[in-house]
Amino acid sequence: HPPSVATDKEEQKRLLENRPDQPQNPKVLRIAIIGAPNAGKSTLSNQLLGRKVFPVSRKVHTTRCKARGVITHEDTQLIILDTPGLTNPLKAKRHNLEEAMLTDPWDSMKHADLVLVLVDVSDHWTRNSLSREVLKCLSQFPHVPSVLVLNKVDILKKKFLLLEIVTDLTEGIVNGKKLKVKSAFKQDSNSSAKSPLQITQASPPEGKVPGSPCGQEENGAQEGSGLDKSSDVGGAGTGEGQGPKHCEPKDLKDRKGWPHFQEIFMLAALRGEEVDTLKRYLLMQAKPGPWEFHSDVLTNQSPQEICDNIIREKVLEYLPLEVPYGVTQVTEIWEEGECGELLIVQSLLVPRESHKRMLIGRGGKVISRIAREAGQDLMNAFLCDVCLKLKVEVK
């Protein structure tokens, strides 16, 4: 089971400062997850971690800063760099976003050993091309191995569209090999997210990743990845000398995809479908190196940051349009109650009386729901009883 987060700020700080209790031959992998806002990056991060520590909402820009999640499994440590959605200065200004929202994804790329590019296939406006910001990010760091993750596959009714999406997003090339895509429908599939595709490479590289669900079955590829896999993530199939070149922004104007992905995964992060397949793959890509954190660490966020983010997530979820972006949170009480429960009292400050009425809701329904749901999520993160009280005031 993943460790819980300490409820005491000082205890969490001590834990983060603890010397890592690493084994004799430790392995490590730093993973940046990038994508357009609302692609499901935080949902995927939470599923990989096995506990909810990152805020999730249908509204864009729920994640406001980079935070780290830590998965420690046997001799391997995966460090997940959950980043804000890649955006541009114009949109950042519109949503009143901090400067960090523009720089954090780029900082994460600088420290990453592997990048997961997440694409929401349920969004028919954006699913057939990578956003300009994502392409810019990949082209600025061509030396960082990248993996394409198609998310929300369960929502896609017409599974045959995955064929077209994969071809567009990879420009028909994965791991340095041209893709051959055969349609292979599986009529009696129980899982809504199974892919009706069998994707193989024209000349498969040697050495498959053991235990991964390659798309070699006669009746259709598994949802994980239908590609033949090479076990070497560093420039596999492309040859070290002829890896992806650094592209200038002007070269990206007419590009839709990225022909240097090493793998493709198809999953449904919200339901947890095929997340374990991706996790196994990530564990296998780890390279020898010292751990960054003690094995009891789940995230580098403070307990207050987790609390603020989770309450904010609910406020974003239940308030219309731009209203939630103007809410300020002030924690007034954070203490242990008589029976060991965590008592939190937080004030939500809003700019207008009309916003206050919206946030409280008729008969206090909205604010009660926010407090109840946020309290549940905090119990899951801290593994203790949480008594959360919220007050709403006009600034």
Give average pLDDT by consecutive 10-residue segment, the chain, 395 residues: 91 94 96 86 92 79 66 96 56 44 58 93 91 88 94 89 93 89 46 45 38 33 39 36 54 84 92 92 97 95 93 87 78 91 95 91 95 96 96 92
**274 and 338 in a common domain:** no
**340 and 258 in a common domain:** no
User: What is the full DSSP assignment across 237-254?
Assistant: TT-GGG-PPPPPGGGGTT
**362 and 264 in a common domain:** no
Q: Are residues 92 and 102 in contact, defined by beta-carbon separation less than 8 angstroms?
A: yes
**342 and 388 in a common domain:** yes
- Closest C-alpha among 227, 283, 300, 296 to residue 113: 283
| Domain end call among 232, 263, 288 | 288
Residue-range definition of the domain harbouring residue 357: 303-394
- Closest C-alpha among 166, 115, 127, 151 to residue 271: 151
Length of the chain in residues, anyone? Answer: 395
Residue 54 maps to a domain: yes
CA–CA separation, 133 vs 138, rounded Å? 9
| Interaxial angle between packed helices 9-17 and 303-318, expressed in degrees from 0 to 180 and rounded to the nearest 10 | 120
Amino acid at 287: K
**41 and 114 in a common domain:** yes
Residues 83, 86, 88, 91, CA torsion sign: negative
User: What is the full DSSP assignment across 86-146?
Assistant: P--HHHHHHTT--THHHHHHHHHHHH-SEEEEEEETT-TTTTTS--HHHHHHHHH-TTS-E
Instruction: Domain count for the chain, please give it.
Output: 2
Q: What is residue 373's predicted lDDT score, i.e. its pLDDT?
A: 96
**136 and 98 in a common domain:** yes
Instruction: Report the CATH number at residue 39.
Output: 3.40.50.300
- Closest C-alpha among 389, 388, 367 to residue 379: 388
- Closest C-alpha among 306, 298, 287, 294 to residue 344: 306
| Domain end call among 288, 314, 338 | 288
CA–CA separation, 118 vs 112, rounded Å? 15
Residue 245 maps to a domain: no
- In this prediction the pTM is 0.79
**171 and 282 in a common domain:** yes
**264 and 123 in a common domain:** yes
CA distances, 92 to each of 59, 89, 118 (Å):
14, 5, 20
Distance from the first to the final alpha carbon of the chain: 42
Backbone angles phi, psi at 77, to 5 degrees: -120, 125
CB atoms within 10 A of CB 384: 13
Instruction: Report the CATH number at residue 384.
Output: 3.30.300.20
Largest CA distance in the chain: 67
Q: What is residue 132's predicted lDDT score, i.e. its pLDDT?
A: 86
β strands within 184-336, DSSP E? 197-201, 261-266, 287-288, 328-336
Residue 195 maps to a domain: no
Q: What is residue 100's predicted lDDT score, i.e. its pLDDT?
A: 41
Backbone angles phi, psi at 343, to 5 degrees: -105, 120
